Amino acid sequence: MKLIYEKSKKGRHGFSLPEDQFKEINLKDCIPQYAKEEKEKELPEVSEVEVIRHFTKLSKLNYGVDDGLYPLGSCTMKYNPKVNEKLATIDSFVYAHPFADEKYIQGSLQIMYELGELLSKITAMDKFSLMPAAGAHGELTGVLMIRKYFEDRGEKRHKMLIPDSAHGTNPASSAMAGFKVVEVKSNERGGVDINELERLMDEDTAGLMLTNPNTVGLFDENILKIAKIVHSKGGLLYYDGANLNALLGIVRPGDIGFDVLHLNLHKTFSTPHGGGGPGAGVVGAKSHLVEFLPSPIVCTDDGKYFFEYPKKTIGRVRAFYANFPVLVKAYAWILSVGGEGLREVSEASIINANYILDKLKKYYRPAYDRICMHECVLTGREYKEYGVKTLDIAKRLMDYGFHPPTIYFPHFEPYAEETIMVEPTESESKETLDEFINAMIKIAKEAKTKPELLKGAPHNTPVGRLDEVKAVREPKLHA
């Protein structure tokens, strides 16, 4: 498809500009010699009609949740309710300036405060900061709080434990917060290896970052032991909330020993993923960590809402308070679903994942053959002998009209290799799952009988498999 630049024609434009009423101001007097631009900034010249058609055409090359099943593991690609979009774009929210006086943004503050309270209820934490822009941003915030907590106590702890099954963001966030990352191996049941944890957890270690259910879709059955080991050495337990969709109304991170956590509002709480963002990575803390939350946080007194600056705050992690519209959407979702509905969400997502696991485990040997939580991790190991890679299986799935699951993650030997991580979420019906399962079974058969079909896949997409090697070797990063 053509680039917008290739549609450019001299003299066209697509913008409605007000008339220049300031003829008496001479532009030359406004710009100092050292900042005068001599060159033209060659943006495309296109009309509004052409722009709209261009982007409409582009949009059709994408696949979204509204198009169908989007089973990316650990991404929780659930339905994004339409009413939430509307509520997030109410004028007096949209046009609110971040430096407007608190008395003029009482409505926005109320939403922020109440959302924090709802999340506290759901997770059993004491206070939330809504500031972080994304999951990884929340992680960084959380581990910086852990760092500050120990500094405040005069303890020097420079290591952070992270399971081999963790998302790459966990070690990356810890490194950004100045910690040395120490990997903890998974055991043969898919959980944290307790003996290994006991050996590694010492007084130089700040704590453990844990995703639970973890990335192989299993709730760590030793969670209470894990918490005890970490806490007995004075460490803190960080909860990566990427997989909270499994636990709503069933068990709360704050009740099983977690001290600080982040939640991805764009996963569990239904806000759209926007092609990679914006979401929100809100951070919840137990009382002993509240004073380290990034500032400001929203508090209330006597019906008035206001910002407060926690005493020992880690500081700001961004310019302003939050991704506000995302918060409105999450707030709206929680209230639409309600207490009973929250549990129903997790129930449906767990049943859906186990249904897929049960139907597909004969064809794609699971990393761990056990009942799973909200996602299941299959593998494409046995098709290697036919020359078929897991990547080929994923690509072929597009020909059947589905977005492929997450592949090659998690990756840790010897259990999780050639992984296919499927998270159906609660949004999918049994019929959709059956269609997906049938497609996967067909592909399994094709892998044995017509491997070339998979290796050349996808066949029905706007472009075929793209040469990623060329993209790095002969970089072209702009037109």
Determine the Cα angle at 261 with ends 337 and 413, to 5°.
Answer: 105
**Is residue 440 a contact residue for other proteins (CB under 8 A)?**
no
Q: How far is the C-alpha of 194 from the C-alpha of 189, rounded, in Å?
A: 11
Contact 198, 185 (CB under 8 A): no
Identify the residue among 129, 428, 447, 454 touching other proteins (CB under 8 A).
428
Q: How far is the CB of 296 from other proteins (least distance, A)?
A: 11
Site for other proteins in 80-119 (CB under 8 A): 80-81, 83, 85-87, 90-100, 104-108, 110-111, 118
**Is residue 400 a contact residue for other proteins (CB under 8 A)?**
no
Identify the residue among 299, 306, 307, 371 touching other proteins (CB under 8 A).
371
Q: Residue type at 134?
A: A
Identify the residue among 157, 167, 262, 396 touching other proteins (CB under 8 A).
167
Roughly what angle, to the nearest 10 degrees, separates helices 430-449 and 324-360? 60
Site for other proteins in 443-462 (CB under 8 A): 456, 458, 461-462
Q: Give how many residues touch other proteins by CB under 8 A.
A: 205
Return the number of the residue (145 or 444) whose C-beta is nearest other proteins.
145
Q: How far is CA 309 from the centre of its chain?
A: 27
Residue that the structure tokens 């004028």 belong to: 91
Q: How far is the CB of 23 from other proteins (least distance, A)?
A: 9
**Is residue 142 a contact residue for other proteins (CB under 8 A)?**
no
**Is residue 268 a contact residue for other proteins (CB under 8 A)?**
no
Site for other proteins in 340-359 (CB under 8 A): 340-345, 347-348, 350-352, 354-355, 358-359
- Count of alpha carbons within 13 angstroms of residue 179, beta-carbon side: 31
**Is residue 325 a contact residue for other proteins (CB under 8 A)?**
yes
Return the number of the residue (168 or 199) whose C-beta is nearest other proteins.
168
Q: How far is the C-alpha of 406 from the C-alpha of 165, rounded, in Å?
A: 14
Closest CA to 416 of 461, 455, 367: 367
Closest CA to 280 of 144, 113, 138: 138
Residue that the structure tokens 């072929």 belong to: 396
Q: How far is the CB of 131 from other proteins (least distance, A)?
A: 9
Identify the residue among 336, 369, 445, 450 touching other proteins (CB under 8 A).
336
Site string for other proteins, 460-479 (x = CB under 8 A): -xxxxxxxxxxxxx-xxxxx
Site for other proteins in 31-60 (CB under 8 A): 31-32, 34-46, 48, 51-52, 54-56, 58-60
Contact 423, 433 (CB under 8 A): no
Return the number of the residue (68 or 234) whose C-beta is nearest other proteins.
68
**Is residue 24 a contact residue for other proteins (CB under 8 A)?**
yes
* Stretch of 199-207, 278-286, 375-383, 441-449 contacting other proteins, by CB under 8 A: 278-286
Tell me the two tokens of residue 440.
């996967």
* CB-count burial class (<10 Å; 0-12, 13-18, 19+) for 7: middle
Site string for other proteins, 182-221 (x = CB under 8 A): ------------------------------------xxxx
Instruction: Report in angstroms the alpha-carbon separations of 235 from 201, 225, 284.
Output: 8, 13, 17
Identify the residue among 194, 398, 441, 453 touching other proteins (CB under 8 A).
398
Closest CA to 123 of 221, 306, 328, 264: 264
Closest CA to 333 of 271, 283, 278, 272: 271
Cβ atoms within 10 Å of 255's Cβ, excluding its own = 9
